[in-house]
Structure 1
Amino acid sequence: MNQKHQEDLAHIRSMMERSSRFISLSGLSGVFAGLSALIGGLYVYQLFKVNGIEYFTDQHILLTSNLVSELFWVGVAILVCAFAFGIFFTIRKSKKYDLPIWTSATKNMLFNLAVPLLAGGLFCLALIYHEIYGLVAPATLIFYGLALVNAEKYTFSDVKYLGFCELILGFISLFYIGYGLVFWIVGFGILHILYGLIMFKKYK
């Protein structure tokens, strides 16, 4: 009888978890988002070289308006790829495990994720407008970390650990302005891949 009660409680707990948290998030989304950022970061490094900028030796990097524009669109492309992979693998996991996608938990998670991201996006646009390029990479890491920590209560709790890592990395990068690309690649590329692999193994 006790075993039956325990099974019933486990079932009820599972149902409550499904209704209150977005659990269709796939670890593969993180892996492919990280790969997108890694490829994008390496492309930016090559872009610097093509424009005569030696990233690790030039102490003062002067960015032309054309180069800034190209860097902006590279960032947009990476964001679109990461978002597309997220949708693809989320739908795939939902169909595989017969999980609902568009629930109140999904809406709450997206809202809590979007507010810091939109605020960070506007802040970074202001930095670019005022030509304060050195703070863009740290700002993206910090606001992204805040977004993950803010959205954690509506999805897997493990997300907050990635958020804290992004925050720490962002704060450290504030003191190493000339190496923003390196921190950006580590934060959005390597950390995402590691996090995605851990999540995939844990929740597959």
Structure 2
Amino acid sequence: MSNQEEQLSALSDIRNMMDRSSRFISLSGLSGVFAGLTALVGAYFAHGELKKYLNGDYGFGIDADVEIEANLIKIAFLVLIFALTGGFIFTYRQSKKKNIPFWGKTAKNMLINLAIPLGAGGFFIIALLLNFPSAIGLIASSCLIFYGLALINASKYTYTDIRFLGICEVILGLIAMFYIGYGLYFWAIGFGILHIFYGLIMYFKYERNK
């Protein structure tokens, strides 16, 4: 090996080390696939509850509205718990496989940058429901937009693919604002199908046979 080749190899190693230290590369594509499948299951059950609500199975009036909202929140909460659990398991396994610390400065920075837009979005949606109950149709689009912004904000600390996923989520959320009655379908596409699609891309790009 010539001196030039050795220097190029050394520079490549240094670049890889810097990339490993500045980016959270333990993030598993399979966690995205699992989250997407969980979201689709949740959307299926939410669709069933909405169908019963529209058919009058909940009755009518304020009590029916409160009950359907409570049931939808329960479904969303369960989806979140299962998705986070799956994400933790797959990502932890990936960090062990790559021999990279699961929790460190980079992971903290990524979570902080992810949490700020998500927290702001959560408060915005709560305020929206409390002040404008009739605006419930904007919840799905708001979730997609703020989630997309969170991914874009956190992408600087992990794979760049996450940035493109965030952009897709924001665009989908903006489109959903003009189709209020189809919010659940947009929610299923954004949190379900897009997660599965990008999860598979990340798996085959960064994990398989590596």
Shorter-chain TM-score: what band?
Answer: over 0.9
User: Aligned partner of 2:9: which letter?
Assistant: E
Query: Aligned partners of 2:142 and 2:50: how far apart in 1?
Result: 21
| Cα distance per residue 1:19-47 (max 9 Å; x no partner) | 11100000001000000100000111111
Distance 1:63 1:22, change over 3 A: farther
Give, as a single letter, the amino acid of the residue that structure 1 aligns with 2:137: G
Matched, 1:107 2:108: yes
User: What corresponds to 1:144 in structure 2?
Assistant: 147
Kindly indicate whether residue 161 of structure 2 is the aligned counterpart of residue 155 of structure 1.
no
What percent of counterpart residues are identical? 52
What is the TM-score with the length of structure 2 in the denominator?
Answer: 0.90
Change (3 A) 1:190 1:172: same
> Is residue 34 of structure 1 aligned with residue 49 of structure 2?
no
Deviation >6 Å, runs of 4+: none
Q: 1:184 aligns with which of 167, 187, 206?
A: 187
Select the residue among 148, 168, 171 that pairs with 2:174: 171
Matches within 5 A, 1:38-187: 38-53=40-55, 64-130=65-131, 131=133, 132-187=135-190
Aligned counterpart in structure 2 of residue 8 of structure 1, from 7, 10, 15: 10
Q: Distance in 1 between matches of 2:193 and 2:23?
A: 26
Instruction: Please tell me the root mean square deviation across aligned C-alpha atoms, in Å.
Output: 1.5
1:98–1:83 Cα change, 3 Å: same
Structure 1 or 2, whichever has the larger Rg, is 2
**TM-score when normalising by structure 1:** 0.93
How many residues align structurally? 197
SS at match of 2:159: coil
- Distance of 1:20 and 1:53 partners within structure 2: 53
Shift of 1:127: 2.2
Classify the secondary structure of the residue corresponding to 2:107.
Answer: helix
Does the aligned pair in 1 maintain the 2:151–2:163 contact within 8 Å? yes
Worse-matched range after superposition: 77-86 or 166-175: 77-86
